[in-house]
């Protein structure tokens, strides 16, 4: 069969997922000003997003065989559309219950996002190819380029029509996802291995290897998504750089570096374990600089360069799993997605809670006088410093993984 259109459908779906992940974070300041929503509640939207995805991941981890996977893949974009339309329309009609509408919309499109993470990677892996690593890296790089598209379109829209009309933009991205549904419905689907091979003798080694991979993707996802979800607000509020500049030079460049690094790995990459370790080290340094630097430009550069450092931490761990655990099955991809979504749900929420708590503390009031910063700036810098914990722990996990797989080349 010719699976070119199937690949195109997967790629377009990943592009449409970019709106689900980055548009809400670009609207945090707008929601705060228009509806009086706190940073903690904004972080809760992120937490809801990834907890919903986590639930989807876990359901597919244990109950994959009960689903018609091909049908689910084709329906995913319609769920994205329904979620973004709810997200857009409900606050406009019922502004007094705006947060409830945002929450419901988030749950709906997060279901689709969870399904995409669980199913698109194994679909790509199941398509016959001489360069499976390249195909996987390209799939994940398109998410980053999708973020660039969303940010550029959003920034132009806000300049022309104002951030107060954000709901029309959300509706536009929702309707755009229908294209992916049309592509899937007119494409052949490859046969996928739904379950991992079962053998008591193999179970122990495979289980431990999977645990290591899940830990790695948890910490890598946390490192990437803390910055993805807060870079726009951090640059605007903590560094006092305008929203347009912050979105274009901040989130856009972050996504560009994310995509460029994944594209470079697709073309030249090898030794994924070393790539992951270097990414964790670089991300740790970037978070530290962003948090402690008093020079706004340097902090913004550190935020942006985090995109390059964290680029391979999610797709790279999937590549590592495929190398070390042959024929993992859809359930294994679901478990990996669960680990990634758990990291992506914990880290942005933690950053938001720390930012609120520290900003309201006496410590922040004292430091604001000493450092000539607002309490809000100090709170957000403390949140960034807290987020540094995840890639820092990731360094230790990667060192252990490298040593373990020196002894066990492939889990057979």
208 pLDDT band, cuts 50/70/90, is confident
Max CA distance (Å), the chain: 68
Q: Name which residue leads in pLDDT, 341 or 247.
A: 341
| CA-to-CA separations, 407 to 326, 346, 394, in angstroms, rounded | 17, 32, 20
The model's pTM: 0.75
Alpha-carbon dihedral 140, 141, 145, 148, rounded to 10 degrees: 80
| pLDDT tens digit sequence for 216-227 | 999 999 999 899
First vs last C-alpha separation in the chain: 30
pLDDT recorded at residue 195? 58
User: Mean pLDDT throughout 266-275?
Assistant: 86
390 pLDDT band, cuts 50/70/90, is very high
| pLDDT tens digit sequence for 9-41 | 888 888 888 888 778 877 887 888 888 888 778
Is the pLDDT assigned to residue 241 strictly greater than 90? no
| pLDDT tens digit sequence for 52-110 | 888 888 888 788 778 888 899 999 999 999 999 999 999 888 888 889 999 999 999 99
pLDDT recorded at residue 204? 66
| pLDDT tens digit sequence for 145-160 | 888 888 889 888 988 9
Q: Name which residue leads in pLDDT, 49 or 80.
A: 80
Write the CATH number of the domain with boundaries 4-407. Answer: 1.20.1250.20
pLDDT recorded at residue 60? 81
Please give the mean pLDDT across all residues of the chain: 85
| pLDDT tens digit sequence for 319-342 | 899 888 877 777 888 889 888 888
129 pLDDT band, cuts 50/70/90, is confident
194 pLDDT band, cuts 50/70/90, is low
Q: Dihedral sign, CA of 225, 228, 231, 234?
A: negative
pLDDT recorded at residue 394? 96
Q: How many CB atoms lie within 10 A of CB 92?
A: 15
pLDDT recorded at residue 243? 65
| pLDDT tens digit sequence for 290-307 | 999 888 888 888 999 999
């Amino acid at each position: 069969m010719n699976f070119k259109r199937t690949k195109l459908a997967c790629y377009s779906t990943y592009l449409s997922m970019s709106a689900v992940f980055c548009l809400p974070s670009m609207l945090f300041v707008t929601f705060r000003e228009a509806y009086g929503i706190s940073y903690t509640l904004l972080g809760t939207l992120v937490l809801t997003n990834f907890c919903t995805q986590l639930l989807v991941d876990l359901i597919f981890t244990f109950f994959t065989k009960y689903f018609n996977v091909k049908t689910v893949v084709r329906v995913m974009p319609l769920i994205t559309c329904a979620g973004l339309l709810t997200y857009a329309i409900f606050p406009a009609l019922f502004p007094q219950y705006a947060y409830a509408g945002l929450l419901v919309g988030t749950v709906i499109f997060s279901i689709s996002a969870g399904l995409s993470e669980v199913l698109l990677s194994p679909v790509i892996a199941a398509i016959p190819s001489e360069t499976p690593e390249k195909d996987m890296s390209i799939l994940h790089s398109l998410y980053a380029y999708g973020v660039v598209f969303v940010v550029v379109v959003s920034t132009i829209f806000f300049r022309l029509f104002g951030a107060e009309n954000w709901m029309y933009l959300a509706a536009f991205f929702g309707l755009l996802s229908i294209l992916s549904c049309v592509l899937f419905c007119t494409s052949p689907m490859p046969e996928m291995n739904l379950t991992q091979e079962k053998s008591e003798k193999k179970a122990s080694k495979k289980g431990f290897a999977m645990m290591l991979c899940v830990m790695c993707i948890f910490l890598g996802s946390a490192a990437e998504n803390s910055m993805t979800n807060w870079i726009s607000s951090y640059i605007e509020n903590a560094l006092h750089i305008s929203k347009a500049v912050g979105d274009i030079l901040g989130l856009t460049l972050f996504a560009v570096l994310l995509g460029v690094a994944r594209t470079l790995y697709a073309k030249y990459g090898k030794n994924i374990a070393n790539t992951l370790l270097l990414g964790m080290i670089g991300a740790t340094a970037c978070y530290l600089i962003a948090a402690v630097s008093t020079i706004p430009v340097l902090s913004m550069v550190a935020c942006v360069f985090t995109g390059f450092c964290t680029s391979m931490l999610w797709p790279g761990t999937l590549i590592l799993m495929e190398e070390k655990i042959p024929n993992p099955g859809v359930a294994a991809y679901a478990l990996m997605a669960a680990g990634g979504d758990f990291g992506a749900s914990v880290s942005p929420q933690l950053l938001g809670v720390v930012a609120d708590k520290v900003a309201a503390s006496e410590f922040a009031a004292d430091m604001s006088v000493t450092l000539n910063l607002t309490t809000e700036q100090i709170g957000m810098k403390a949140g960034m410093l807290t987020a540094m914990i995840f890639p820092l722990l990731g360094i230790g996990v990667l060192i252990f993984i490298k040593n373990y797989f020196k002894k066990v080349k492939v889990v057979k």
